[in-house]
Amino acid sequence: MRRMGLVCIALLLCSSAARAADTWKCSLLESHRFQQGRSLAQKGGGDFQVQIKPPVIHLTANGHFIIDYNIIENSPFRLFGAKRTELGGGASRTSRLTLDKVHGRISQSGISHKGDSEELEEIFSGRCSEAPG
For 59, counting Cβ atoms within 10 Å of its Cβ (0-12 exposed, 13-18 middle, 19+ buried), the class is buried
Residues 128/105, Cβ–Cβ less than 8 Å: yes
Task: Please give the average per-residue pLDDT across 107-124, as a whole number.
Answer: 89
Fold of 22-130: Porin (2.40.160)
Residue 58: predicted pLDDT: 95
Domain parsing of the chain, residue ranges:
22-130
Residue 43: predicted pLDDT: 56
- Has residue 111 got a pLDDT over 50? yes
**pLDDT averaged over the chain?**
83
What percent of the chain stands above pLDDT 90? 53
Residues 107/2, Cβ–Cβ less than 8 Å: no
Claim: this prediction has a pTM higher than 0.85: no
pLDDT digits (tens, 9 = 90+) for 56-95: 999 998 788 989 999 999 999 999 999 999 988 999 999 9
Separation of alpha carbons 68 and 82, rounded Å: 9
Alpha-carbon torsion, ordered 64, 101, 15, 48, to 10 deg: -10
Separation of alpha carbons 42 and 32, rounded Å: 6
Separation of alpha carbons 112 and 91, rounded Å: 7
Task: Please give the average per-residue pLDDT across 32-42, as a whole number.
Answer: 72
21 pLDDT tier (thresholds 50, 70, 90):
low
Query: CA gyration radius for the chain?
Result: 18
- Has residue 9 got a pLDDT over 60? no
Residue 121: predicted pLDDT: 87
Residue 3: predicted pLDDT: 55
Residue spans of beta strands (DSSP E) within the chain: 22-35, 38-43, 47-53, 56-61, 64-74, 78-88, 91-100, 105-114, 117-130
Residues 108/97, Cβ–Cβ less than 8 Å: yes
What percent of the chain stands above pLDDT 70? 77
